[in-house]
């Protein structure tokens, strides 16, 4: 509904039905109300102790803020994350039965490999449901006629020829709860692997709030022409700014034009609509003349976005030879109550090193501070600092060369997705760097080399960054003896105009 993919005529509030309790059952099982928040379920002591699989699955899903809002029943009914389902310009049998499936031949291939059909290849996204299925959960449902129970194994349906039907609920039924049988024996896999490791490292790292301070400030020139507004501004994503400004001014998007020829320094600080554009637009309308607004240096620190501070706990378990057996990277950061951004500092850890047992999660605190958002290499910039420092400390514990430790734990495929890398030459990069920087001459004992009053050391760190791929378009015309090429992009300060022009 938020993205206007569906617009139901009636909404029913069931918050007052008292479905928000976690109850231990006489047979040793547990009943979870449909309105129990995912964050509360993951934090429940009985669940954490007896159903660690479920607790881990909940923490692995979505951001902390979403877990604070998501419910048990809502999680089971969540829709696919297929990009084409949310792109109303593309056909989707799940959204519009009979229209076709754009994903079958589309660019985005993050789809199901099992249980698909020639009508739909969208994947079901719930981590919680997978854990509950493994625990033999049952779903309790009710309508005006009565109640019934459905085994979770039979609750969801495969797409087949009716991908728009995703579960076995009848019209008018709602989920009232989920029951789990008595907890199976055994311990949480990660804890067992970490505790059994020959060598363990448990360390916490902190990074401060960081603000953009590009030389070019946020500035906007706005003017109105025949009921339409033209905004010259410094912005990295003009299409999103157009939508946000239109919504703020309660105008049709087609009547808002954003022109951002030169961004200057951006790097995340000019991703979204800022106060300068809104104030310039309002003032220009009131004064009936063009108005220019530029934020002062001091204002940039308070009314634009910043990288939030983080607390990162990293636990590494390894054999005496240096082979990692367990990795955990947990991140805490903060943001405004209504903002869902979190610093994804543990994301790169999921692909960097091989280890059989793994745990990564992010927790978001509500803070009354300026809005947090992306800043140059969001997540990796501070996350790599922590995981690489931890690897160095582990190398010292093991008395192993830091490069050798990383080479020993180089994965042959993505450690979590279990898919091959398209290209990866991290080992070759480290070895070439070691040769060029004279790594073999390094004294591994700290505080042994001085240059006058200065202590001098030599160190290294690996780096990895995710790459978001999306379709790109370019319009090309042949005009007499030359080609005319048109495509849309902007320069955030990296020199793209200069490079692509040549």
Antiparallel, parallel or unpaired: β 219-225 and 291-294: antiparallel
250-266 burial, b at 16+ Cβ within 10 Å, e below that, comes to eeeeeebebebeebbbb
pLDDT at 190 (0 to 100) = 37
pLDDT digits (tens, 9 = 90+) for 224-245: 999 999 999 999 989 999 999 9
Q: How far apart are CA 95 and CA 115, in angstroms?
A: 19
Torsion region of 4: left, alpha or beta (phi above 0 gives left; psi -120 to 50 gives alpha): left
Q: How far apart are CA 406 and CA 366, in angstroms?
A: 36
Phi, psi of 292 (to 5 degrees): -115, 135
**Is-contact 356 325, C-beta < 8 A?**
yes
The fold of 307-418+426-455 is: Aldehyde Oxidoreductase; domain 4 (3.30.365)
Count of Cβ atoms closer than 10 Å to residue 25 Cβ? 12
Per domain, the residue ranges of the chain are 15-78+126-180, 307-418+426-455
Burial class of residue 109 (count of CB atoms within 10 Å of its CB; 0-12, 13-18, 19+) = exposed
Q: How many Cα neighbours within 13 Å face the side chain of 497?
A: 9
Hunting for tokens 């290209």 — which residue is that? 423
Q: Supply 234's token pair.
A: 């410094």
pLDDT at 188 (0 to 100) = 43
Q: How far apart are CA 39 and CA 62, in angstroms?
A: 11
Please tell me what DSSP assigns to residue 114. S
Q: How far apart are CA 400 and CA 392, in angstroms?
A: 9
CATH 3.30.465.10 fits domain 15-78+126-180: yes
Phi, psi of 234 (to 5 degrees): -110, 105
pTM: 0.64
pLDDT at 151 (0 to 100) = 96
pLDDT at 192 (0 to 100) = 56
pLDDT at 334 (0 to 100) = 93
pLDDT at 10 (0 to 100) = 87
Q: How far apart are CA 250 and CA 237, in angstroms?
A: 20
Residues of the chain short of pLDDT 50, as ranges, are 188, 190-191
**Is-contact 344 382, C-beta < 8 A?**
no
């Amino acid at each position: 509904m938020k993205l206007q993919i569906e617009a139901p005529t009636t909404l029913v509030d069931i918050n007052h039905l008292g479905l928000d309790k976690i109850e231990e059952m006489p047979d040793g099982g547990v009943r979870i109300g449909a309105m129990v928040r995912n964050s509360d379920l993951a934090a429940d002591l009985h669940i954490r102790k007896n159903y660690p699989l479920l607790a881990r699955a909940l923490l692995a899903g979505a951001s902390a803020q979403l877990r604070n809002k998501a419910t048990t029943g809502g999680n089971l009914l969540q829709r696919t994350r297929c990009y084409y389902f949310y792109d109303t310009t593309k056909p989707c049998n799940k959204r519009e039965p009979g229209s076709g499936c754009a994903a079958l031949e589309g660019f985005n291939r993050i789809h199901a490999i099992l249980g698909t059909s020639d009508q739909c290849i969208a994947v079901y996204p719930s981590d919680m449901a997978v854990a509950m299925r493994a625990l033999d959960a049952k779903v309790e449902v009710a309508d005006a006629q009565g109640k019934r129970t459905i085994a979770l194994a039979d609750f969801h349906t495969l797409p087949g020829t009716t991908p728009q039907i995703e579960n076995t609920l009848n019209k008018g039924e709602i989920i009232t709860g989920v029951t789990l049988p008595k907890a199976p024996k055994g311990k949480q896999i990660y804890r067992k692997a970490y505790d059994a490791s020959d060598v363990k490292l448990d360390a916490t790292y902190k990074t401060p709030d960081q603000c953009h301070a590009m030389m070019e400030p946020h500035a906007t020139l706005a003017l109105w022409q025949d009921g339409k507004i033209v905004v010259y501004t410094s912005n990295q994503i003009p299409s999103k700014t157009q939508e946000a400004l239109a919504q703020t001014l309660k105008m049709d998007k087609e009547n808002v034009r954003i022109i951002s020829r030169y961004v200057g320094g951006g790097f995340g600080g000019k991703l979204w609509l800022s106060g300068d554009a809104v104030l310039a637009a309002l003032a220009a309308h009131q004064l009936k003349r063009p108005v220019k607004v530029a934020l002062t240096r001091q204002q940039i620190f308070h009314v634009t976005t910043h990288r939030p501070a983080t607390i990162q706990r990293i636990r590494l378990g390894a054999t005496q030879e240096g082979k990692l057996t367990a990795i955990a990277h947990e991140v805490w950061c903060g943001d405004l109550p209504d903002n869902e951004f979190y610093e994804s500092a543990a994301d790169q850890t999921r692909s960097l090193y091989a280890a059989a047992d793994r745990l990564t999660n992010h927790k978001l605190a509500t803070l009354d501070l300026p809005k947090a958002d992306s800043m140059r290499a969001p997540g990796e910039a501070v996350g790599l600092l922590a995981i690489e420092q931890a690897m160095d400390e582990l190398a010292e514990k093991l008395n192993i060369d830091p490069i050798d430790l990383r080479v020993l734990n180089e994965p042959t495929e993505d450690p979590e997705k279990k898919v091959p890398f398209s290209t990866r030459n991290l080992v070759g990069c480290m070895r070439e760097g070691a040769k060029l920087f004279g790594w073999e001459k390094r004294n591994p004992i700290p505080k042994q080399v001085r240059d006058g009053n200065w202590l001098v050391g030599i160190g290294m760190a690996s780096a990895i960054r995710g790459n978001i791929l999306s379709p790109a378009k370019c319009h090309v015309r042949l005009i007499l003896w030359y080609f005319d090429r048109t495509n849309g992009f902007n320069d955030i300060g990296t020199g793209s105009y200069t490079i692509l022009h040549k």
